[in-house]
Amino acid sequence: MRSHPMADASLGPLDRLRPLLLIVAIIAGLSFGAFLPGLVQGWFETVVYIFLIVLVFSLVLGAQFGDVLRSLRNIRFFAVAWFLNFVVVPLTAFGLALIFLGPYPAIFVGFILYSIAPCTDWFLIFTSMAKGDVPLGLAALPTNLVLQILLIPLYLFLFAGLIVPF
């Protein structure tokens, strides 16, 4: 069994600090959202986006471009990821919405919209923390984003169109 090249490297300062930063960010977001909700809508939202960009960008900088390009040849990974992200998850979300949210059209549509959009970058943080294949995740990022943009209107029309007019 071949280990990933990044898994053999010793942890850098940012790698050791990343889990703590993530926990602090979660606690800060929950606290500000609960106690100062107006603040979250203002400047704090911008701060969250900036830190998210820095966190993801630090992962991108740690990956070798050649590893990302080689990852594009992993057809089996992409087939499984696309099948799960764009077939299994939307159908599961639709089934759950029909069972539990049929009488609540606004929540039904919101749940469908939230559930059918696969994560485009957060998974990289957890992949890195688990010593996973970050270059492979980086290779999947653009295709997930493009497919998501193309398929969300179709999914909303097919799934939410049964509950609300589109």
State pLDDT tens for residues 111-162.
Answer: 988 888 877 777 887 888 788 888 998 888 888 889 999 999 999 899 988 7
Q: List the structure tokens of 90.
A: 């939307």
Is the pLDDT at 45 greater than 90? The verdict is no
pTM of the entire predicted model:
0.67
- Classify residue 140 by burial, with Cβ atoms within 10 Å: 0-12, 13-18, 19+: buried
Which pLDDT value is given to residue 77?
Answer: 93
Residue 84: which pLDDT band, with cuts at 50, 70 and 90?
Answer: very high
Q: What is the 3-state secondary structure (H, E, C) of the chain?
A: CCCCHHHHCCCCHHHHHHHHHHHHHHHHHHHHHHHCHHHHHHHHHHHHHHHHHHHHHHHHHHCCHHHHHHHCCCHHHHHHHHHHHHHHHHHHHHHHHHHHHCCCHHHHHHHHHHHCCCCCCHHHHHHHHCCCCHHHHHHHHHHHHHHHHHHHHHHHHHHHHHCCCC
Instruction: Give the integer Cα–Cα distance in Å for 32 and 36.
Output: 5
Is the pLDDT at 90 greater than 90? The verdict is yes
Is the pLDDT at 96 greater than 90? The verdict is yes
Which pLDDT value is given to residue 9?
Answer: 52
Which pLDDT value is given to residue 82?
Answer: 92
Among the listed ranges 32-41, 76-85, 105-114, which one has the minimum average pLDDT value?
A: 32-41
Q: Are 51 and 76 in contact (CB under 8 A)?
A: no
Specify the amino acid at residue 159. Answer: F
Is the pLDDT at 42 greater than 80? The verdict is no
Q: Are 52 and 117 in contact (CB under 8 A)?
A: no
* Average pLDDT of every residue of the chain: 81
> Which sequence spans correspond to the domains of the chain?
13-62, 64-166
Among the listed ranges 38-42, 49-53, 55-59, 136-140, which one has the minimum average pLDDT value?
A: 38-42
